[in-house]
Structure 1
Amino acid sequence: MAAAWVNTATLNFLILLLCSDSPWSPSVQVSGRQEEEESVTITCSAPTPCPDSPPKLSWSLHQDPPHTMVTNTDGTFTTSIQQEMTLSDRHHGLQVTCSAVYPVSGGEKRADGSVTLRVEYSPKNTSVQLSGNTSLSVGESVTLSCSSRARPPVQNFSWFRLTSEGPQRVHQGHVYSLTFSCSTREQYFCQAKNQVGEENSPVITLGHEDASAGIGPYNIVKTCGIIALFSALLLIECLIQEKATTTLRQNQRAVSEDANYVNVECQV
């Protein structure tokens, strides 16, 4: 009768699996740089004491991924699954869970393993907050503040004013206080930057109310309408004055004619 050979490590694991209340938890690892737009591979591995009845692994991401079984250097077996992902800022803080279900006598035993993604990403949702009104008069002060979310946090805030020659850097820092000294409108935006990238905020316009309104078609029509209205009123006033002058002259002529008539009667 031939002696049966059993790997000691496999036998020990079988005994542990049968005697414990729950099997070993699978191991979940991420390979690759966890940064936005980078591709990473997430691997879930679980010990496999019985190659003929390997554990069934599944992701919280999706179900029924392809399984791979490898033989370890100590003679034991490991079953694994993999998932490739292209990262974005939305994946930061995502917990990826892998479940291993082992077939055992009388049913199944399940264990879970997980990993939390820590994704670095460039500034997002960069915006400008204004303390006060965008309509300013010369000499008035205003404070602008820039906000953005990023990982790692924003390292540098810069402020730019739009000019005819392009954006001009005017300040560096989270908050920018300025005194409006121009009778025309001015446009500003902030830029948030960290080691991953940068993002610009929408442009904000500051200026006198009339200047900030611009000279678009609507304003041109509005101005022409006002001029036409004043012209019409002036014309009506001139007509009224002319009519009044004409009436006055007619009355004066009539009085003069009556006076001449009286003088003629007196001479007769």
Structure 2
Amino acid sequence: MTGPEHVFNQIQSSDSGEYYCEAQNEMGTDRSRTINMDVKCGPKSTSVSVSPSGEIVEGSSVTLTCSSDANPPVDKYTWYKKNGVYYPSTTYMTTGPHLVFNQIKSSVTGEYYCETWNGMKTGRSESINVNVRCE
């Protein structure tokens, strides 16, 4: 780039990094000090995945994982069952990026989604269907 300024149109977190400029004339070249630019943003691309993938059989262990791209990083995860009832149950669920079902039961069948918060904004995933087959 040339010119005395650089304009970021629609700045994104991927623009974060170290920047400096150089000036040059017939007498020589000089370089500025380096500055660090840290672009903050709320959670985006929030999604839920299930592990293991494939058929879920009653009695097995299943983990739902919530992930999100945010700066600063997500520090609060909230899990919901699609019927709108706030869900963790202290019996077999935990809060945080992982929702773990140990010895899953067919009554857990339903659609789940997560919400993320990083102090700036809330992100919400699409729901994922958890279908537990009775054994």
Superposed CA offset, 1:186-225 (max 9, x none)? 111122210121222232111146xxxxxxxxxxxxxxxx
Say if 2:14 is the partner of 1:90: yes
Identity of aligned residues (%): 24
After TM superposition, the structure 1 = structure 2 runs for residues 27-176 of structure 1, keeping only pairs within 5 Å, are 62-63=1-2, 65=3, 81-85=4-8, 86-93=10-17, 95-103=18-26, 108-113=27-32, 114-163=34-83, 167-171=84-88, 172-176=95-99
- Residues 195 and 126 of structure 1: is their aligned pair in 2 closer, same or farther, counting only changes over 3 Å? same
Superposed CA offset, 1:95-132 (max 9, x none)? 333211133xxxx3001124231111122333323232
Paired positions, count: 123
AA at the equivalent of 2:130: L
Q: CA deviation at 1:142?
A: 1.5
Unaligned runs of 5+ in 2: 89-94
Distance 1:122 1:195 in 2: 8
Superposed CA offset, 1:4-59 (max 9, x none)? xxxxxxxxxxxxxxxxxxxxxxxxxxxxxxxxxxxxxxxxxxxxxxxxxxxxxxxx
AA at the equivalent of 2:70: A
Distance 2:86 2:132 in 1: 22
Distance 1:116 1:131 in 2: 38
Point out the structure with max Rg over C-alpha. 1
More helix by share: 1
User: Looking at both structures, which has the greater relative contact order when contacts are Cα pairs under 8 Å and sequence separation is at least 6?
Assistant: 2
Distance 2:76 2:42 in 1: 12
- Taking structure 2 as the reference length, the TM-score comes to 0.73
- Taking structure 1 as the reference length, the TM-score comes to 0.40
Unaligned runs of 5+ in 1: 1-61, 66-80, 210-268
More strand by share: 2
Native 8 Å contact 1:189 1:201 kept in 2:
yes
